[in-house]
Amino acid sequence: MNLVHDSAPVFLALAGWALLAPALILAVAAVRRDFLPRGLAEHAWLGGAVLMALLWTLQVSAGGAPAFGMLGAALYALVFGYSRGLLGLLLALVLHDALDGGAWLNLGLNGILMAVLPSALVTVLRRLIERHLPHDPFVFMIGNGLFATLAVTVLTRLAIVGACLLAGPFHANVTLGEYLGATMLMAWSEALVSGMLLTALVVFLPQIVLTYRADVYAARRH
């Protein structure tokens, strides 16, 4: 089952909405007074949401199995932070459903899987890296851009597969093990791309990486 386009059971869809509503309210409350710095960061946030919606249309179907491809959610939330990342990913999901004929009933469930979960996971990992590893720009770029996005992408994909199995039996031309193997390879590819993109952003456009703390990572050492 593809939860983006196929209607999930009502109980699962309602559970998704029940979980998404408080997360959405808290995210809006967290940024309502100072949403984004004016200028480039605003354009990057909105443009990134549109790119996420486009990226999700490039998923590959495996004959009835959940479609797989690059998610991009971990990198987006890593750049803009938890609340702004969550809201941007939800905007991307709405755009994707509107333009690609998505199942609106599943928006709450998909919002949890593709926005709330990756945003929360990458935020936790980023804070752990900042707390326990040396404060060095390379640690931020490689630790978060490569390893954190890899872990978050794998866990998000497993959560999506789990939700699909709850929604119905796994009917596909490939076995569940083959599908999971393919998604893990895709996750590694996504992590490599995310690491390179985050490095380029930190070096050339650090003002739009809202989680990069120059006072911590780029402080002059005596």
So what's the pLDDT on residue 144?
95
Nearest to residue 65, comparing CAs of 168, 166, 172, 163? 172
What is the rounded distance in angstroms from the CA atom of residue 138 to the CA atom of residue 141? 5
pLDDT single digits (tens) 39-82: 888 999 999 999 999 998 888 766 666 777 889 999 999 999 99
The model's pTM: 0.91
> What domains, with CATH codes, occur in the chain?
10-217 (1.10.1760.20)
What is the rounded distance in angstroms from the CA atom of residue 112 to the CA atom of residue 155? 13
Mean pLDDT of the 13-28 span: 94
Q: Kindly report the average pLDDT of the chain as a whole number.
A: 87
The residue type of 67 is A
Q: Is pLDDT of 102 > 80? A: no
